[in-house]
Amino acid sequence: MLIECKNDTEKVAMGLLSYLPDFKNLANLKDEIQLNKNSAEFCLYLYRSKDPNFIGVIGTQANKQFVVIRYISFAPDFRKAKYEAKAVQELAQSNPQKRITAVPEYIDLIKYLKKD
């Protein structure tokens, strides 16, 4: 289940983001959190599966036509394709009027949206 990051889940998001190399630096991490707080265009979503704990985070940038996946990060025990697929599919379901795409580093995630 994807849930938009709010003030009460900010520390969880920071922990999950810290697995990404760009956010190992605390200043970068804080800047990213502020960007997502202060701009309607940028959004952080926390992901949980059946477990009550959040296991991943997706950072997006949206406009009227697109939602761009900027990054995705999961806790080490949950770095499996099935979790990525479910999170990306839920993102698409929650934005049915928009096309889901990704920055080049994460473009492989789009394969989870392909219909057979």
Question: E strands along the chain, which residues?
Answer: 2-4, 42-47, 56-62, 66-74, 99-102
Q: Give SS3 for 27.
A: helix
Would you place residue 107 in the very low, low, confident or very high pLDDT band (cuts 50, 70, 90)?
A: very high
* Buried b / exposed e along 64-93 (16+ C-beta atoms within 10 A): eeebbbbbbbbbeebeeeebbebbbeebbe
Convert the pLDDT of each residue in 34-77 to its tens digit: 999 999 999 999 999 887 899 999 999 999 999 999 999 999 99
For residue 115, name the pLDDT band (cuts at 50, 70, 90).
low
pLDDT in tens, 6-43: 999 999 999 999 999 999 999 999 999 999 999 999 99
Q: What is the DSSP letter of 111?
A: G
Supply the pLDDT for residue 51.
77
The single-letter code of the amino acid at 11 is K
The pLDDT assigned to 116 comes to: 47
pTM given for the model: 0.92
